[in-house]
Chains A and B, each alone.
Chain A
Amino acid sequence: MDPLVASLKISSSGLRVQSQRMRIVSENLANVQSTGDTPGANPYQRKTITFKSEVDRALGANLVAVKNIGSDKGDYRVEFDPSHPAADENGNVKYPNVNTLIELADMREASRSYEAGLQMMVKSREMITRTIDLLRSR
């Protein structure tokens, strides 16, 4: 396949995984206050996403794909709030192990990677179009 057309497809796979990553980040951010609903219950567990390289035989190139959507085994944030429905016998409530700052940094990284992929597509397309335009000019 034409390498320029292939690079369009490869960038497109990059865009897809970065949008998956954005989905995970927004899930984590949305659930930053999601506690359990019974006393001492575990809250929402932060999700993580990993990527892997995937060979596309038809294309003869390495695409990127989501390897795994796992969960962060880190410690929960504990706050003292005896009036909360999820408070245990000591009055402690377990909050999700989501750190907003980390999620925001992750979001920015995903957004930058997405932009890089978009630029890649724009440039490849421009190169193809300008090559075809050679036929037009006289």
Chain B
Amino acid sequence: MADLSALSTVSRVSTFTSGVNDVSSTARTRQYLVGGPQDAQATQGVQGSFADTMADVVRETAGDLKTAEATSVAAVRGEVSAQKVVEAVMKAELSLKSAVAVRDKVVEAYQEFSRMSI
């Protein structure tokens, strides 16, 4: 899946920006992304940080892309109607578009920070 490169960028940005948010959550996000133990979240005491939200968005988008691909393959085999394919691909496209738009905005914000003179 070629489009996943964009997703991994989003996830890297989300891991990265968690450093801006609060330093301790970086490790937690990495754990979250690779599917580590969930109790790490509970011990931190912080819930629903920006990084977690980003990770959720990425995971959902990846799921949508997978569904779209599976539906397309099923349609080639003649099991699924064209309408279902369009529905799934459109959903994936919209998820990807919004994920990329948010990533761009986050990168922009980071660059704004990095240009700041101290």
- Give residues 90-138 of A contacting B (CB, 8 Å): 121, 125, 128-129, 132-133, 135-136
Tell whether, in the assembled complex, residue A129 and residue B101 are in contact, meaning their CB atoms are under 8 Å apart: no
Contact: A132 with B87, CB < 8 Å? no
Please report which residues of chain B, range 79-106, place their CB below 8 angstroms from some CB of chain A when the two chains form the complex: 81, 83-84, 86-87, 90-91, 94, 97-98, 101-102, 104-105
Can you report 29 residue pairs joining A to B where beta carbons are below 8 Å apart?
A5-B94, A8-B87, A8-B91, A9-B87, A12-B83, A12-B84, A12-B86, A12-B87, A15-B83, A16-B81, A16-B83, A16-B84, A19-B83, A121-B86, A121-B90, A125-B90, A125-B94, A128-B94, A129-B94, A129-B97, A132-B94, A132-B98, A132-B101, A133-B101, A135-B102, A135-B104, A135-B105, A136-B101, A136-B104
Question: Chain A: interface residue count, which band?
Answer: 10 to 19
Once the chains are docked, how many angstroms separate the CA of A121 from the CA of B105?
A: 28
Residue of B81, B91, B104, B105 near A5 (CB, 8 A) is B91
Contact count band on B: 10 to 19
- A135 adjacent to B101 (CB under 8 Å): yes
Please state if B86 and A132 are interface contacts (CB–CB under 8 Å).
no
Describe B's contact surface by its main secondary structure: helix
Closest 9 CB pairs of A and B: A135-B101, A15-B83, A12-B87, A12-B83, A132-B98, A132-B101, A16-B83, A132-B97, A135-B105
Secondary structure dominating the interface of A:
helix
Q: How many angstroms between the C-alpha atoms of A120 and B5 in the bound complex?
A: 32
Complex CA gap A128/B94 in Å reads 8
A5: chain B residues within 8 A (beta carbon): 91, 94
Contact A8 B90 (CB under 8 A): yes
State in angstroms the CA–CA spacing of A94 and B12 once bound together: 73
Minimum C-beta distance from B102 to chain A (A): 7
Provide the B59-89 mask, 1 if CB < 8 A to any CB of A, else 0. 0000000000000000000000101101100
